[in-house]
């Protein structure tokens, strides 16, 4: 049997959508391991420590239960970076890796400044042998950068080695909205690395609740690349279906029927085939653009163009939907009240990063619409941050000046509106009271269902005009 280190103390750098839930589940499954989740964002840490579980910084079904059980038992949220790293046998890097906004690779490459800063902190504060685990999604070969930073810190003043590091890649595959279930029952756990001792130590943590056959080990670069490719494949299926949806609308085919037909082929499978307003979330676009950057870097232009098309179709889908809404409403939405149902990028999360709702709302605002937005979990402040602030738009690009507000109920959003536009697939939108909503709306009224989840027959029976994504109605 391969030897391993019995991990007693973990530090996770980054208390975000990945760090928080992942460490919560490890703490639940391994009550004997003490876990410190650290972050430079004090507000975030305070929110994680808040007595009212409704105030946790992220909304994720089932998370509050796990936090209630483990917080201040073997799970701690703190800003004490130095102390937490010093005492850790294993440090997870779970910091943000957004697309670079300027400099070399801007718009495509990942910005690794937070990863580098964290690696330098580990280098400075770690003691003895520390296993460093890349949890963030990283460009291929980032592990070598981390290793270099760490190795250079190993020599003490007398040029003798006083600390030792092993670097592993352990990308995360959780999806928001189902994070706890994904973490407790993963399809696979991927561990990349060469140090067998370190790999076995990490395997022994997951092995407490994940079948050994599901823990796959490989070399570092395969592990880093597999994470990017997994996201690219998922996103590619959605862009394919969004392209087919447009074809359905023109030909009289129905996207739900096409989805059923092709999903029944066991080689294709029926998951991730739902057409919609375009994929959102913090990672799909970023990870594909990273592959595009990497491919171009290695001179593989055709490969880069191939993957880039997935992102282009996604952008096109959002604009296509905005145009349809304007056209159906007699070619203008200026001064018209439109109710937006759903602002998060998918159901069961309060996350709005890259949500298609942002682009579609901004398009409608530019056309002069008065939007009333309802979302059960997204705050007013978040929407405000996401929608274009007028002073940031060059004056010659402002077509018209729309406005937006947030409604507390669906009825409030619908009152006097010309259209209800469903952008997120929240369960509560599946069975709306169309008789009531129709009576509140201005006539002729419209339903635009970009997720195909509403009871559109009932809406139609109540005199509402219907547009459904991917059918000719």
| 13 lies in the site for ligand NAD, by CB under 6 A | yes
Binding mask 257-296 for ligand NAD (x = CB under 6 A): -------------------------xx-------------
User: Do 335 and 367 meet the contact criterion of CB atoms below 8 Å apart?
Assistant: no
How far apart (Å, rounded) are the C-alpha atoms in residues 158 and 161?
Answer: 9
What tokens appear for 458 in the block?
A: 């009932």
| 311 lies in the site for ligand UGA, by CB under 6 A | no
Closest CB to ligand UGA among 89 and 182?
Answer: 182
Element (H, E) at 378: none
Considering only the C-alpha atoms of the chain, give the largest distance between any 2 of them, rounded to a whole number of Å: 83
Closest CB to ligand UGA among 34 and 180?
Answer: 180
Closest CB to ligand NAD among 79 and 334?
Answer: 79
- DSSP label of 395: G
| Nearest alpha-carbon partner for 173 in 346, 344, 351, 22 | 22
CA dihedral over 340, 346, 347, 352, signed as positive or negative = negative
| 19 lies in the site for ligand NAD, by CB under 6 A | yes
| 20 lies in the site for ligand UGA, by CB under 6 A | no
Element (H, E) at 169: strand 163-169
Rg (CA), the chain: 24
Interacting stretch for ligand UGA, rule CB under 6 A, among 33-41, 59-67, 171-179, 249-257?
A: 171-179
Binding mask 214-233 for ligand UGA (x = CB under 6 A): -----------------x--
What tokens appear for 23 in the block?
A: 């460490």
State how far the alpha carbon of 295 is from the alpha carbons of 105, 108, 238, in Å: 12, 11, 22
Q: Is 93 helix (H, G, I), strand (E, B) or coil?
A: strand
| Nearest alpha-carbon partner for 340 in 370, 385, 315 | 370
Tell the smallest beta-carbon distance from residue 442 to ligand UGA (Å).
Answer: 29
Is-catalytic flag, 283? yes
Contact partner, 450, from ligand UGA, ligand NAD, none, Cβ < 5-8 Å per class: none
| 76 lies in the site for ligand NAD, by CB under 6 A | no
Contact partner, 274, from ligand UGA, ligand NAD, none, Cβ < 5-8 Å per class: ligand UGA
- DSSP label of 358: H
Query: 284-297 and 301-328 helices cross at what angle (nearest 10)?
Result: 150
Closest CB to ligand UGA among 174 and 248?
Answer: 174
CA angle 89, 176, 182 (to 5 degrees): 60
Contact partner, 280, from ligand UGA, ligand NAD, none, Cβ < 5-8 Å per class: ligand UGA
Closest CB to ligand NAD among 175 and 398?
Answer: 175
Contact partner, 118, from ligand UGA, ligand NAD, none, Cβ < 5-8 Å per class: ligand NAD
Tell the smallest beta-carbon distance from residue 321 to ligand NAD (Å).
Answer: 24
- What residue ranges bind ligand UGA (CB under 6 A)? 137, 172-176, 231, 234, 238, 272-274, 276, 279-281, 283-284, 345-346
- What residue ranges bind ligand NAD (CB under 6 A)? 13-19, 38-41, 44, 81, 94-97, 114, 117-118, 136-137, 172, 174, 176, 282-283
């Amino acid at each position: 049997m391969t030897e391993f280190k019995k991990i007693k103390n973990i530090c996770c750098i980054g208390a975000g959508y990945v760090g928080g839930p992942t460490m919560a589940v490890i703490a639940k499954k391994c009550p004997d391991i003490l876990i410190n989740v650290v972050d430079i964002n004090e507000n975030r840490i305070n929110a994680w420590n808040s007595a009212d579980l409704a105030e946790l910084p992220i909304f994720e079904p089932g998370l509050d239960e796990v936090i209630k059980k483990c917080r201040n038992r073997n799970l701690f949220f703190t800003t004490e970076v130095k102390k937490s790293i010093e005492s850790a046998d294993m440090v997870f890097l779970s910091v943000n890796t957004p697309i670079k906004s300027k400099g070399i690779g801007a718009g495509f490459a990942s910005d690794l400044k937070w990863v580098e800063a964290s690696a330098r902190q580990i280098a400075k504060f770690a003691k003895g042998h520390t296993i460093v685990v890349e949890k963030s999604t990283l460009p291929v070969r980032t592990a070598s950068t981390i290793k270099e930073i760490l190795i250079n810190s190993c020599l003490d003043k007398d040029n003798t080695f006083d600390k030792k590091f092993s670097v592993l890649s352990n990308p995360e595959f959780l999806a928001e909205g189902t994070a706890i279930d994904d973490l407790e029952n993963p399809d696979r756990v991927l561990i990349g690395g060469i140090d067998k001792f370190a790999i076995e130590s990490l395997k022994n943590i997951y092995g407490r609740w994940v079948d050994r056959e599901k823990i796959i080990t490989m070399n570092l670069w395969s592990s880093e690349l597999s994470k990017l490719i997994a996201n690219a494949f998922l996103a590619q299926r959605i862009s394919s279906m969004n392209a087919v949806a447009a074809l359905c609308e023109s030909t009289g085919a129905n996207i739900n029927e096409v989805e059923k037909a092709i999903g029944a082929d066991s080689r294709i499978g029926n998951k991730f085939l739902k057409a919609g307003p375009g994929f959102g979330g913090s990672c799909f676009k970023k990870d594909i653009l990273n592959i595009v950057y990497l491919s171009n870097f290695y001179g593989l232009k055709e490969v880069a163009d191939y993957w880039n098309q997935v992102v282009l179709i996604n952008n096109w889908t959002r604009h296509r939907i905005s145009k349809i809404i304007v056209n159906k409403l007699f070619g203008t939405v200026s001064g018209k009240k439109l109710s937006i149902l759903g602002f998060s990028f998918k159901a069961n999360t309060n996350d709005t990063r890259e949500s298609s709702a942002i682009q579609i709302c901004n398009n409608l605002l530019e056309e002069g619409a008065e939007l009333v937005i309802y979302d059960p979990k997204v705050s007013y402040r978040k929407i405000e941050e996401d929608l274009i602030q007028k002073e940031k738009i060059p004056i010659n690009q402002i077509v018209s000046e729309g406005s937006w507000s947030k409604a507390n109920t669906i009825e409030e959003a619908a009152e006097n509106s010309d259209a209800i536009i469903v952008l997120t697939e929240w369960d509560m939108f599946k069975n709306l009271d169309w008789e009531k909503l129709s009576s509140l709306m201005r006539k002729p009224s419209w339903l635009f269902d970009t997720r195909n989840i509403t009871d559109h027959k009932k809406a139609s029976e109540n005199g509402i005009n219907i547009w459904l994504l991917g059918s000719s109605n």
